[in-house]
Chains A and B, each alone.
Chain A
Amino acid sequence: MSNPIQAEKEYHKYLEQGRLMLLRDNESGKCMFYPRVVAPGTGSTDLEWVEASGKGTVYSVTTVRQRPPSPGYNVSLIDLEEGPRMMARVEGLAPDDVKIGQKVTARFIQEDDAALVVFDPV
């Protein structure tokens, strides 16, 4: 067996390279998010990194309000095409215009000195 996986560290290394990588459990074929060293639900450790398509759908949405004049900003839950759900921000639309069911695609940015995946409307 190869070295035991370091899920969190490896995820962030990929993210810095502009890649959204998911861990897939080879027993069930299901991808997970966030990446863990063991598959949630089954306990499988037969895991493999696969690259996400970046395509997803908004599952739910909120606008976090700030004290004016700072604008509110979007926080969404995105269902990825590969199955798992992640929290993220939808950009390219006014926060109030982000709706459940909106199709989105991933984009990589730097924020607070770290790589971050955000989503744009399709």
Chain B
Amino acid sequence: MDNFPRAKTAVVGAATFGIGEAHGYSSMEMAAHAGVEALKMAGLRTSDVDALFICLPFDAMSGISLAEYYGIHPKLTDNNRTGGSSSVSQMEHAALALEAGMCDVALITYGSNQRSATGKLQTPVGLGGVESVYKPRNPVSSYALAAHRHMHEFGTTREQLAQVALSARQWAKLNPEAFEQGNLTLDDVLNSRMVSDPLTVRDCCLITDGAGAMVMTRADKARDICKNPAYLLGAAAATTHMSISSMPDLTRTAAIESGARAYAQAGVGAADIDVLSLYDAFTINVLLFLEDLGFCAKGEGGAFVSDGRIAPGGQLPVNTNGGGLSCCHPGQYGMFANIEAIRQVMGLADKRQINDVNLALAHTNGGNLSSQATAIFGSSSTV
């Protein structure tokens, strides 16, 4: 058991910008817009920010760049580059810095114009020379290898994987911000273009633009500036590999470690969680994370998501914004997984709001199932 400062910090503002298509905006402009909107929600301005956390896709020093852009002189800048899991790691580190008095207002922001700029997923990665000669279409092929292994070991079916995409689309229809709103059927998922077997294009996340930001302060200040802060009860990360060929077991992710530590920090378990955000870059992710985070036994994820269990009206609400599969996926989806969990805790999820949310879990993923980071948010009743 570590000494994570449970509920000593909270998110007091969370905002998105340019979800879907944001023609004419640079990634920095999008991240800056989202940051200002999140600050406004908390009645704060950029001049109040003394810690900046950001990770723009192609600016390795974007923490400094954003400080210049905002014209502020923060005490702390951070460019955590663990891919889609970076924003949870940044919250973890912001909580420690806030608790230690190293800063008072932390802004965590992200933005990408990848759809309108290139139409392709933009992920600059190193290593991988021993893989790239075989031309996997990464990241899809890496996740496809994990999916096939899961099917082989546990009898998981493509129809079960498709249920994840169908549930996400149903949630998306309740979220005006979601990019994909059209009808989606089981046949659509199974018969759409195969990208890397067994994953079709509908098993894969969208490629969109989008920006998001979160503002964190210490809990005492949070209560003064926000009616319903989302208290950070736990945040933990773990990694097992970078390239898929170095993953020890393709059916067991480091979410087993990050989740266990986050639960211990928060003093809660899977059965206590009211709503979940799981980084669904691909349909297989949701099965793996439901299993690794203790919502069902290993190998039972496929059966678990059947019969609408994670769809609107189901027993366990998962990815209520529509997820990376139907809402948005601007290169790194972690920020958006967090924001949806925060909105659910704050009661700001409109038509898709789950009743009486006291505990929300956001689990994020970076690389090729490589980096796993789990955050648990609580309402004031959990403090």
Contacts and interface: CB of A to CB of B under 8 A. Distances in A.
Contacts of B137: 64
B290 to A, nearest CB: 20
B169 to A, nearest CB: 23
Interface of A: 8, 33-34, 59-65, 72-73, 75, 77, 85-89, 96, 100-101, 111-112, 114, 116
B131 interface: yes
Contacts of A63: 194, 196-197
B14 interface: no
A64 B244 contact: no
Contact of A87 (B146, B196, B197, B244): B244
B194 A87 contact: no
B197 A65 contact: yes
Interface of B: 129-131, 133-137, 141, 144-146, 148-149, 152, 193-198, 243-246, 250
B149 A87 contact: no
B135 A87 contact: no
B136 A87 contact: yes
Contacts of A100: 148-149, 152
A75 B148 contact: no
Given A63-B197, A100-B152, A75 B130 contact: no
A62 B144 contact: yes
Contacts of B244: 77, 87
A69 B129 CA distance: 28
A60 B196 contact: no
Nearest to A88: B134
Contacts of B144: 62
Contacts of A116: 133
